[in-house]
Amino acid sequence: MRPSEVQRLTVGETVDRYAEMVRAKSSTGALAPGTAEVYARDVHTFAELAGPVRVLDDLDGADVEEVLLRFARKPDGRRSRPVPSGPGPAQSASSQARFRRSVSAFFQYAVVAGWVQLNPMQAVTLRPKVRGGLRPERRALTTEQAEGLLGAAQELVVREPRGQGRADQRTGLRDGLIVLLLAAVGPRVSELTSADVEHFFVNAGTRYWRIFGKGGRTRDVPLPHPVALVLDAYLGEGRPALDRGREPKALLLSWRGRRLARGDVQAVIDRVLARVDPERRRSVTPHGLRHTTATHLLAAATDMDAVRRVLGHADLSTLGRYRDELPGELEAAMRVHPLLGSVAPPEAPS
């Protein structure tokens, strides 16, 4: 229920309260820590661009549009190379869309909290123009490219020297498992790096992975049999023996016994890609392998809700953003049209 009177608080005051609220949600498991930090960072940027001493309820749709435009032109500090000066945007379309979502969530909360009478986002029509969507590395691999990557991962697993050589040279099982899990199950990279050994269990003869996802939600995903075999081999022979006090629970470890980080996962993918035939090789990120999982499961006519549950999406509308176009899929669909199976071709003239 909304408060009966609007509190005339400044932008800076409301942003601080909102950031405190989302961080409290992350501590209770209602929000993933990374998501909470993104929200907090974006609303503080909003305050900086809108003016922290202005009263929040005085902002209208035009004021918010001006903030969105200023953010679009704001240099992206994450880039290693400076963006050329000019009238074009410095922020990518995806960054602009993320910032807009954060600001929208902030104003939805502000309405309920009694900081504004009306949500100014309802009057905002400015939207970032997406040029080409995601960059290629974040989109799904084709069937040929995916088979090349998985083949290279399987080759690493088969050729892994068992108990021979230096420990830092025996990473084939781990690297192969990482690629197989990413391509077959499609977890977020944070879900993969935070996985512990105890999160994997057997039920009625099937190996499951209990994935702890965004917003404190969990899902139990059955592993395909080939992936389960590699997991068992890694746990039995490939996972480093640990000294006391070293990450005893983490599934994926460096040869020194430390939990792998997000950047380590990309390095593993790149090493496996280097073994793929150049004609079937294409750079891909962990997010691109998540797209690969969704795209190929859906292309195989897998039930959409089952795919949603595998990926850990809250609703089916989110799943649509992970479905990428595959070459030849329209032609293949029309060749097996469900309405034309009983239509006989015309007879050849005698």
Three-state SS string over 263-280 comes to HHHHHHHHHHHCCCCHHH
For position 146, what pLDDT does the model report?
93
Confidence grade of residue 187 (pLDDT, cut at 50, 70, 90): very high
Say which range, 103-107, 125-129, 314-318, has the weakest mean pLDDT.
125-129
Task: Evaluate if residue 256 carries a pLDDT over 60.
Answer: yes
Average pLDDT of the chain, as a whole number: 83
Q: How far is CA 144 from the centre of its chain?
A: 23
Other beta carbons within 10 Å of 326 = 16
Quote the pTM value. Answer: 0.64
Q: What percent of the chain has pLDDT over 90?
A: 44
Residues of the chain with CATH 1.10.150.130: 11-123
> What is the C-alpha separation between 147 and 19, in angstroms, rounded?
44
CATH of the domain spanning 11-123: 1.10.150.130
Task: Evaluate if residue 93 carries a pLDDT over 80.
Answer: no
Residues of the chain with CATH 1.10.443.10: 136-325
Contact indicator for 231, 200 with CB cutoff of 8 Å: yes
Say which range, 72-81, 172-181, 183-192, 319-328, has the weakest mean pLDDT.
72-81
Mean pLDDT of 123-144: 72
Task: Evaluate if residue 344 carries a pLDDT over 70.
Answer: no
Task: Evaluate if residue 7 carries a pLDDT over 70.
Answer: yes
Task: Evaluate if residue 106 carries a pLDDT over 90.
Answer: yes
C-alpha pair distances (Å), 253 with each of 126, 155, 274 = 45, 20, 21
CA atoms within 13 A on the CB side of 136: 5
Confidence grade of residue 75 (pLDDT, cut at 50, 70, 90): confident
Q: Which residue has the tokens 């998540």?
A: 290
Q: What percent of the chain has pLDDT over 70?
A: 81
For position 213, what pLDDT does the model report?
87
Task: Evaluate if residue 63 carries a pLDDT over 70.
Answer: yes
User: What is the largest distance, in Å, between two alpha-carbon atoms of the chain?
Assistant: 88
Task: Evaluate if residue 115 carries a pLDDT over 80.
Answer: yes
Confidence grade of residue 299 (pLDDT, cut at 50, 70, 90): confident
Q: Report the DSSP pairing between strands 206-212 and 218-222.
A: antiparallel
Domain 136-325 has CATH 1.10.443.10: yes
Say which range, 83-92, 201-210, 278-287, has the weakest mean pLDDT.
83-92
Mean pLDDT of 110-133: 78
Print burial letters for 118-147: b (CB count within 10 Å at least 16), e (below 16).
eebbeebeeebeeeeebeeebbbbbbebbe
Question: Could you tell me which residues come within 8 angstroms of residue 9 by beta carbon, excluding any fewer than 6 positions away?
Answer: 17, 55, 56, 115
DSSP state of 337: -
Torsion sign, CA atoms 284, 289, 291, 295:
positive
For position 171, what pLDDT does the model report?
84
For position 159, what pLDDT does the model report?
77
For position 324, what pLDDT does the model report?
73
Strand-pairing partners, residue 219, are: 211
Residues forming the active site: 188, 214, 287, 290, 313, 322
Mean pLDDT of 220-225: 93
Confidence grade of residue 191 (pLDDT, cut at 50, 70, 90): very high
For position 82, what pLDDT does the model report?
45
Other beta carbons within 10 Å of 167 = 12
Mean pLDDT of 132-151: 83
Q: Give 200-205's long-range contacts (Cβ < 8 A, gap of 24+).
A: 200/231, 200/251
For position 337, what pLDDT does the model report?
55
Mean pLDDT of 43-54: 94
